[in-house]
Amino acid sequence: MNLEDIMGQENTRESILQENIGQENVHALRISALREEMRRDGIDFWMIPTADFHASEYVAPYFQTREFFSGFTGSNGTLLVGLEEAGLWTDGRYFIQAEKELEGSGIVLYRMGEKGVPDIPQFLLEKVPENGTLAFDGRIISVKEEKDLEKKLAAKNARFVIDRDPAEEIWTGRPGMPAGPVFVLHEEKLAGETAVSKLKRLRDQMDKAGAAYYVSSRLDDIMWLLNIRGMDVECNPVALSYLFVTKDSFSLFLREAEVTDDLLPHLEAAGGKVRSYERFEEFLRTYDYGDGKVMMDPRSFSCRLGGAIQAEKVYAPSPLEAFKAVKNETEIRNLRECYVEDSAALTRFIYFLRKRAEKALRDGDEYLTDPIDDENVDGSDSLGAYLNEYSAAMRLDGIRRQIRDFVELSFPTISAYGPNAAMMHYEATVRDHADLRPEGMYLVDSGGQYLRGTTDVTRTVALGPVTDDMIRHYTLTLAAQMELQHAVFLHGCTGRNLDILARSYFWKEGMDYKCGTGHGIGYLLNVHEGPQRISWQKPAEGAPEAVMAAGMIVSDEPGAYRENLYGIRIETILLCVEKEETPDGRFLCFEPLTFVPLDRRLIDKSILQPQMISWVNEYQEEVYRRIAPFLSEKERAWLREETLPL
Amino acid sequence: MNLEDIMGQENTRESILQENIGQENVHALRISALREEMRRDGIDFWMIPTADFHASEYVAPYFQTREFFSGFTGSNGTLLVGLEEAGLWTDGRYFIQAEKELEGSGIVLYRMGEKGVPDIPQFLLEKVPENGTLAFDGRIISVKEEKDLEKKLAAKNARFVIDRDPAEEIWTGRPGMPAGPVFVLHEEKLAGETAVSKLKRLRDQMDKAGAAYYVSSRLDDIMWLLNIRGMDVECNPVALSYLFVTKDSFSLFLREAEVTDDLLPHLEAAGGKVRSYERFEEFLRTYDYGDGKVMMDPRSFSCRLGGAIQAEKVYAPSPLEAFKAVKNETEIRNLRECYVEDSAALTRFIYFLRKRAEKALRDGDEYLTDPIDDENVDGSDSLGAYLNEYSAAMRLDGIRRQIRDFVELSFPTISAYGPNAAMMHYEATVRDHADLRPEGMYLVDSGGQYLRGTTDVTRTVALGPVTDDMIRHYTLTLAAQMELQHAVFLHGCTGRNLDILARSYFWKEGMDYKCGTGHGIGYLLNVHEGPQRISWQKPAEGAPEAVMAAGMIVSDEPGAYRENLYGIRIETILLCVEKEETPDGRFLCFEPLTFVPLDRRLIDKSILQPQMISWVNEYQEEVYRRIAPFLSEKERAWLREETLPL
């Protein structure tokens, strides 16, 4: 799955659409209601970003306040409401969608990154009156974000109101906060390291930093540390929670409904206990810190909670983020296993697609169809139903669900045909999708959450005749992907050093993909994880530029995107491993975890160097060797053909 | 020339050797004299690095105080003298040499980078008494270095004495400060931009930074800004000087002997005048800054001069460094021309070597010899004198001197045969050198200062039979060098992104060269210039990570170094140019400036990919096309053979 996030917004979108039926300007009305409060309380501007209390990438419906007020459903956007005007800031992926969704709301669209368009601080610097008041929910703005805003608006001497939720008085029928039960990971078979041991490592970092306490609101950090998982965010097995660690104990703050019978003894054994999620702020405010310092990551801890702590702070990038990025031996053994099973699922899906495409070509049909008989996908008649992006995704998800210890998808499957694949964040829906035809290319980016890990994989396949450009760009993408997979590098390198290995294939053609080449992946956690990242660009200010280490996993997913024509992405997940130690240093390399065939119909051997052709052949052979045992006889015979040397 | 600096230390070494003849422990005596002063003045430690008042890479003999006290002649080292003990810190390149040179001095060698060896701040933190006193010449320690030292020694509350020169009372017969005349570059034909225009750009940066004044002690920055050059440092055409710029005028601080007739009207036309070098500190101390701020680069401006300024400071990396790195059209036109002529000189030298090696092989001689008749190098008898590293360098330097507008060498020629080439900083001398034999490899790294620019080039050539390892490593080095030369990259990239293109050829073999792949080069200025640099590693703290820009030049010089066996380096200078602008961005690439043949005897075609073979063939053809016009008929015929396709 690509770095661009794809949110499961279907529910919200539905409810907003329904409301719109009866009342044309529901969003304008809601903003009016907010303005009334603002006038009453002397607030000049309300800033409403999309975020939860935990700096999560995906947020539960409860937190979709920005959508509630604006009607805009994209994954990235900030609403700014003034007494006389309102604006929504979003990026290029959403300009068309936002324009449509904002219609009639009176909200002005600010196209981020376009020439002459001010960003939010610039806008505020101009519009906020001297000594004016800016409000935002201080639980969803980080310590660092608030500090930056303060610095940028210094000239206006603005007052910040941070203890209010703009939707509180207005959003009737707001979805509840999710409260799934928390479960404990088997420490030996699944986690590979006890919570006790992880806590010790954290406390060593606290000692080093001279801190007596560590606080965190990062959900995946907390889950990882305590070897627990939750069910509060779709596709992310995390529980809404906070963490407070001292030198010899810790508290996990949870909603009551989440606490399970085996959780308490598990935490107790590690020296901790459960407290109430709702009373975390009060706890922070009233705790007696003595002269101990409190360590926190200012990029994720909220400014309101930060302000509640009456003690000296030590700001540092989360040590838990760095720890959990390096998978341990148990995790690696499980990952290797579940990636092969996940790869087999996708391979079987590709076999299905291929057979339906071949049938359509044979029969001269304009569209691919669903078969009557799944056992006989290549010859059987069809149900009469067209195969489309959405039904294809459902079918893949169904195959994946059969894998033992499957928990849920790791993100909504991206199933994109033809020009739709040029949109990195595309999501087909039950009502809005393209039908598959026996020509051109189809891209599928998908993954699962298993007890044995989190997967993510993309393949692009030909469904019939393709153009020379498609073949050339697939071949380039493949070479780029393979080049990174075969990287060898000295310990000390970061993703900024490595990125060009993949990207230079595109740059030589005057092309570029507008995202990183790769991201870290959690272990039964978020599909996007830091701190490592494969990208040539500098990390955001305050973010670490993480050194690659053995045990890290990263995606390797270059792509060729041609607007309104097609999109190609090949994504294989790589495990960073030690290669050798020589007098010149310690060298690392990658081992692929993903084994799904590449599409030989889309490869132009004549533009590859012999070394690259060998790499492709070796990989295809390895795919056959590892995946064949999971296939039926027919599937196996097909895979044999698909993976023969070029 | 490689990033490791190679200093012309011969004079100092000579004088020290001579002194040692009469008196075994001259350095111990000098240190005793210093300690006497220290006791008298209450100083606990004296720190004596190698530096001048201008943070120069190469320093004039006047500034070689560290050598004077320690006897150690390496280019990198800091002497620390305490009341009871003295230590010298240097890096791995100099361990053996330092051990020898320090013998009998009582100075302990601290091997930097070795396990358990403290660095200087760590050492001082342990040894300096509470409220103790540390002395160093504040004119040779930068603002940033002093601040860092202060921070690291904060626990000791040490007092810094910075207004003393340790050699002042002790160094009788100290060489004078150099004082060569300053000359003015032809602004149209050579500089390509008037000093007036450059000053305007500087003042724009001052405005942006909110500064009313700019001060600099960086010699190459000052020379570049004012379109002048000097003769005060061997191989660096700079004049010892300081610069003080206001919004509408400027002062250049020079020694009186350096001022020439055409300098004054030149400066006057740009709104400036000359003041006395010796009175710069006094000028800074007594100037009326009003409420204006003073902009300076804390990495090069000295802490003593910084302390003399009674005004608020704005610290920023030198804008002049960034400006001068991007060559203008006139400079580029001149560089293209003079690099071809310089390449022809080296090509003719290689022809000479080759012919003498062939003769030795033919005649079964053990050594190469100098010919009686230069016109007939391939057949004539010899003078009887052996060709050695030193005489070979002299011959190359002689050929280079014949190029019109040659000024001087850009650094002492590195002429290294066999195992000597494994030492990146090797310098053969008239008394200490290897004779050349018709076997193995010879490496030559050299360059010149011309009115049309500064050159730097390395080639490694076979003098006779070579081993398979030599061929394999030369081929790797060649592929690495060519890969970077053919890089294409988006605007915004830095050398950290590009380095792996070259280096990965080595990393895949478990090898690494312990230096950057490339450095910037001045225009009739220093052979090492920033801010751009091709290296995967992070720049030193406080140094910018410079974005590559069209007009920058960089060296491309990977190498394979095998201790006690051989060294290989291929260095071609590249000019960064615009390649194309597409919907995906602005792309840059490189154009080689250097055209010297690669040694086909050392290339194993079988381990190169076809693309690489084409690149090598194209380059060799281009070498022939550009260099042939500068050669005699015999040389031309030879070059034709040398550059035929592999």
Tell me if residue B461 falls in helix, strand or coil: strand
φ and ψ of B630, to 5 deg: -95, 5
| A422 interfaces chain B, CB cutoff of 8 Å | no
pLDDT exceeds cutoff 90 at A429 = no
Cα separations (Å) of B80 from A414, B97, B133?
65, 18, 13
A466 residue type, one letter? V
Per-residue pLDDT, averaged over A260-286, amounts to: 94
A500·B489 Cβ contact <8 A = yes
| Closest residue to A496, CB basis, from B497, B579, B585 | B497
Q: Which residues of A touch B564 (CB under 8 A)?
A: none
For residue B16, give the nearest of B80, B100, B116 by alpha carbon.
Answer: B100
pLDDT exceeds cutoff 80 at A10 = no
List the beta bridge partners of residue B486: none
Q: How far apart are CA A30 and CA A39, in angstroms?
A: 14
Residue B388 DSSP symbol: B
Interface probe, candidates A484, A498, A509, A536, chain B, greatest B C-beta count within 10 A: A536
pLDDT exceeds cutoff 60 at A8 = no
φ and ψ of A613, to 5 deg: -60, -40
A546 in Cβ contact with A322 (< 8 Å): yes
Of the two residues A384 and B265, the one the predictor is more confident about is B265
Residue B187 DSSP symbol: I
Residue B187 CA, chain-centre distance (Å), reads 26
Contacts of B546 (CB under 8 A, 6+ apart): B322, B325, B494, B495, B530, B531, B532, B533
Interface of B with A in 60-89 (CB under 8 A): none
A512·B611 Cβ contact <8 A = no
Percent over 70 (pLDDT), chain B? 96
Per-residue pLDDT, averaged over A199-206, amounts to: 97
Q: Which residues of A touch B514 (CB under 8 A)?
A: 584
B58 phi-psi bin (left φ>0, alpha ψ -120 to 50, beta other): beta
pLDDT at B11: 42
Tell me the per-residue pLDDT of A494-505, one tens digit each, with 9 for 90 and over: 999 999 999 999
Per-residue pLDDT, averaged over A535-547, amounts to: 89
pLDDT exceeds cutoff 70 at B329 = yes
Q: Lowest mean pLDDT: which of A14-28, A141-155, B239-253, B479-493?
A: A14-28
A507·B501 Cβ contact <8 A = no
| A490 interfaces chain B, CB cutoff of 8 Å | yes
Structure tokens, B571: 């260095």
B510·A536 Cβ contact <8 A = no
Instruction: Give the residue carrying structure tokens 């740059």.
Output: A507
B510·A580 Cβ contact <8 A = yes
Distance from the Cα of A547 to chain B's closest Cα (Å) equals 11
Tell me if residue B636 falls in helix, strand or coil: helix
B587·A510 Cβ contact <8 A = yes
Residue B556's pLDDT band, with cuts at 50, 70 and 90, is: very high
A479 in Cβ contact with A612 (< 8 Å): yes
pLDDT at B429: 82
pLDDT at B10: 39
Q: How far apart are CA B55 and CA B73, in angstroms?
A: 18
Tell me the per-residue pLDDT of B478-511, one tens digit each, with 9 for 90 and over: 999 999 999 999 999 999 999 999 999 999 999 9
How many pairs of residues across A and B have Cβ atoms under 8 Å apart?
79
pLDDT exceeds cutoff 90 at B580 = yes
Q: How far apart are CA B458 and CA B475, in angstroms?
A: 15
B496·A493 Cβ contact <8 A = no
pLDDT at A179: 83
| B515 interfaces chain A, CB cutoff of 8 Å | no
Residue B439's pLDDT band, with cuts at 50, 70 and 90, is: very high
For residue A459, give the nearest of A558, A299, A598, A612 by alpha carbon.
Answer: A598
Q: How far apart are CA A463 and CA B203, in angstroms?
A: 62
B335 in Cβ contact with B593 (< 8 Å): yes
pLDDT at A24: 61
Listed ranges A360-374, B417-431, B632-646; the one with the highest mean pLDDT:
B632-646
A35 in Cβ contact with A551 (< 8 Å): no
Task: Please count the CA atoms within 13 angstroms of the CA of A249 that sit on its side-chain side.
Answer: 6
Per-residue pLDDT, averaged over B182-194, amounts to: 93
DSSP string, A193-241: S-HHHHHHHHHHHHHHTT-SEEEE--HHHHHHHHTEE--SBTTB-----
Instruction: Give the residue carrying structure tokens 């008749």.
Output: B373
pLDDT at A333: 97
pLDDT exceeds cutoff 50 at A14 = no
Of the two residues A379 and A194, the one the predictor is more confident about is A194
| B511 interfaces chain A, CB cutoff of 8 Å | yes
Across all residues in chain B, what is the average pLDDT? 91
| A488 interfaces chain B, CB cutoff of 8 Å | yes
A507·B610 Cβ contact <8 A = no
- Beta strand segments in B504-606, E: 518-520, 529-534, 553-556, 559-562, 566-569, 572-582, 585-592
B510·A537 Cβ contact <8 A = no
| Closest residue to B500, CB basis, from A500, A506, A508 | A500
Of the two residues A55 and B493, the one the predictor is more confident about is B493
| A584 interfaces chain B, CB cutoff of 8 Å | yes
Q: What share of chain A is helix, strand, coil (3-state, %, to 5)?
A: 40, 20, 40
Q: Which residues of B touch A582 (CB under 8 A)?
A: 510-511
Q: What share of chain B is helix, strand, coil (3-state, %, to 5)?
A: 40, 20, 40
| A482 interfaces chain B, CB cutoff of 8 Å | no
Tell me the per-residue pLDDT of B280-291, one tens digit each, with 9 for 90 and over: 999 999 999 999
pLDDT exceeds cutoff 70 at B28 = yes
What does DSSP say about strands B414-417 and B441-446: parallel, antiparallel, or unpaired? antiparallel
Tell me if residue A179 falls in helix, strand or coil: coil
Q: Which residues of A touch B588 (CB under 8 A)?
A: none
Q: Report which secondary-structure segment, H or E, holds A340.
A: helix A329-363
Residue A90 CA, chain-centre distance (Å), reads 18
Residue B156's pLDDT band, with cuts at 50, 70 and 90, is: confident
pLDDT at A22: 46
Q: How far apart are CA A338 and CA B381, in angstroms?
A: 76
B511·A487 Cβ contact <8 A = no
* Environment class of A346 (CB within 10 Å of its CB; exposed 0-12, middle 13-18, buried 19+): buried
pLDDT exceeds cutoff 60 at B20 = no
Percent over 90 (pLDDT), chain B? 75
Q: How far apart are CA A165 and CA B232, in angstroms?
A: 69
Tell me the per-residue pLDDT of A608-619, one tens digit each, with 9 for 90 and over: 999 999 999 999
Per-residue pLDDT, averaged over B309-317, amounts to: 94
pLDDT exceeds cutoff 50 at A17 = no
Percent over 90 (pLDDT), chain A? 75
Please report, to the nearest 10 degrees, the dihedral formed by the alpha carbons of residues A462, A466, A467, A469 taken in order: 0
pLDDT exceeds cutoff 70 at B307 = yes
pLDDT at B24: 61
B574 residue type, one letter? L
| B610 interfaces chain A, CB cutoff of 8 Å | yes
Per-residue pLDDT, averaged over A334-354, amounts to: 97
For residue A497, give the nearest of B404, B443, B516 by alpha carbon.
Answer: B516
Radius of gyration of chain B (CA): 26
Radius of gyration of chain A (CA): 26
B500·A512 Cβ contact <8 A = no
Of the two residues B514 and B295, the one the predictor is more confident about is B295
Helix axes B610-627, B633-642, angle to 10 degrees: 170
pLDDT at B4: 38
Interface probe, candidates B538, B584, B590, B612, chain A, greatest A C-beta count within 10 A: B584
| B399 interfaces chain A, CB cutoff of 8 Å | no
A487·B504 Cβ contact <8 A = yes
What does DSSP say about strands A108-111 and A86-90: parallel, antiparallel, or unpaired? parallel
Interface probe, candidates B486, B513, B536, chain A, greatest A C-beta count within 10 A: B536
Interface of B with A in 343-382 (CB under 8 A): none
Q: How far apart are CA B167 and CA B98, in angstroms?
A: 21
Cα separations (Å) of B428 from A108, A198, A199, B413?
73, 57, 59, 9
pLDDT at A532: 95
Q: Which residues of A touch B582 (CB under 8 A)?
A: 510-511
* Environment class of A463 (CB within 10 Å of its CB; exposed 0-12, middle 13-18, buried 19+): buried
pLDDT exceeds cutoff 80 at A92 = no
pLDDT at B22: 47
A489·B504 Cβ contact <8 A = yes
Q: How far apart are CA A234 and CA A57, in angstroms?
A: 11
Q: How far apart are CA A541 and CA A543, in angstroms?
A: 6
Per-residue pLDDT, averaged over A612-638, amounts to: 97
Tell me if residue A457 falls in helix, strand or coil: strand
| B562 interfaces chain A, CB cutoff of 8 Å | no
B605 in Cβ contact with B577 (< 8 Å): no
Across all residues in chain A, what is the average pLDDT? 91
Tell me the per-residue pLDDT of A33-47, one tens digit each, with 9 for 90 and over: 899 999 999 999 999
A488·B504 Cβ contact <8 A = yes
Structure tokens, B314: 């704005």
Per-residue pLDDT, averaged over B620-641, amounts to: 97
Per-residue pLDDT, averaged over A509-524, amounts to: 94
Total Cβ atoms within 10 A of residue B611: 14
pLDDT at B155: 85
Q: How far apart are CA A465 and CA B596, in angstroms?
A: 49
Residue A301's pLDDT band, with cuts at 50, 70 and 90, is: very high
A82 in Cβ contact with A127 (< 8 Å): yes
pLDDT exceeds cutoff 90 at A290 = yes
| Closest residue to A609, CB basis, from B508, B537, B611 | B611
pLDDT exceeds cutoff 70 at B19 = no
pLDDT exceeds cutoff 90 at B383 = no
Q: Which residues of A touch B500 (CB under 8 A)?
A: 487, 489, 493, 497-498, 500-501
Q: How far apart are CA A417 and CA A386, in angstroms?
A: 13
Q: Which residue does chain B place closest to A499, by CA atoms?
A: B497
